[in-house]
Amino acid sequence: KYPKQLESDVDLLTEIGVDHVFSPSCDMMYRKNHATFVDPMGFDQTREGIARPNHFRGVATVVTKLFNIIQPTNAYFGQKDAVQCALIRRIVDDLNIDVNVQIMDTVREPDGLAMSSRNAYLTPDERDKAPVVYRALCAAGELFESRFARGLEEVDASDLQEVVESLLQTEHLIREVQYVAVDDLKTMQPIRKVGSNGCIVSLACMLGSVRLIDNIVLRG
């Protein structure tokens, strides 16, 4: 669950010069007898999709409705939600939606923790330990770069997963590692070998009672 903080969000948007905020109620978006959904194939089989059944049908439906209502020229999404980004690009291409999708780099705190409204649920001790998530991903990046620097043309995905999992397991406040995935950059489908085309390494874990996700893009 995400904290609902519309008023503070609007205040922040006002400070940077935003003129309009679209914030419809659930009843406005899903009227009585609503029966139509956008259900893209394959995304429920990603590691994030397995962890959150039917989540991506909801994402695809509400984003398609948003594009139809607003008809924006550009739409901006954060890289932190990696599967969501791939999904939105897919529906825009498949359904011929006239919008330029811009994927923005993950915005991080000074210590590396990916910014998220869920971070507000972390206790002070959990917040202090949370940067281990990004450090674990960076460790995979360092391994990837070192292998290529030695002249190797491919890196085993399992090696990247192992280094991430090993570092996460050093933090006792992480009570569950839901997954560490090494996937194709465009399709978010798992790959066994990572070559010059690169990959995305993503993870989900429970830090205390808070579910954190993050990822890092690796390119050869």
Q: What are the tens digits of pLDDT across the range 143-188? A: 999 988 888 889 999 999 999 999 999 999 999 999 999 999 989 9
In the predicted structure, residue 4 carries a pLDDT above the cut 90: no
Which among 211, 209, 148, 185 has a CA at the least distance from the CA of 46? Answer: 185
pTM: 0.90
Distances (CA, A) of 35 to 30, 52, 65, 88: 9, 21, 13, 21
As a whole number, mean pLDDT of residues 18-28 equals 93
Distances (CA, A) of 71 to 63, 74, 214, 218: 11, 9, 29, 33
**Region of 28 on the Ramachandran plot (φ > 0 left; ψ -120 to 50 alpha; else beta):** alpha
Structure tokens that stand for 212 in this block: 């954190």
Share of the chain above pLDDT 70, in %: 100
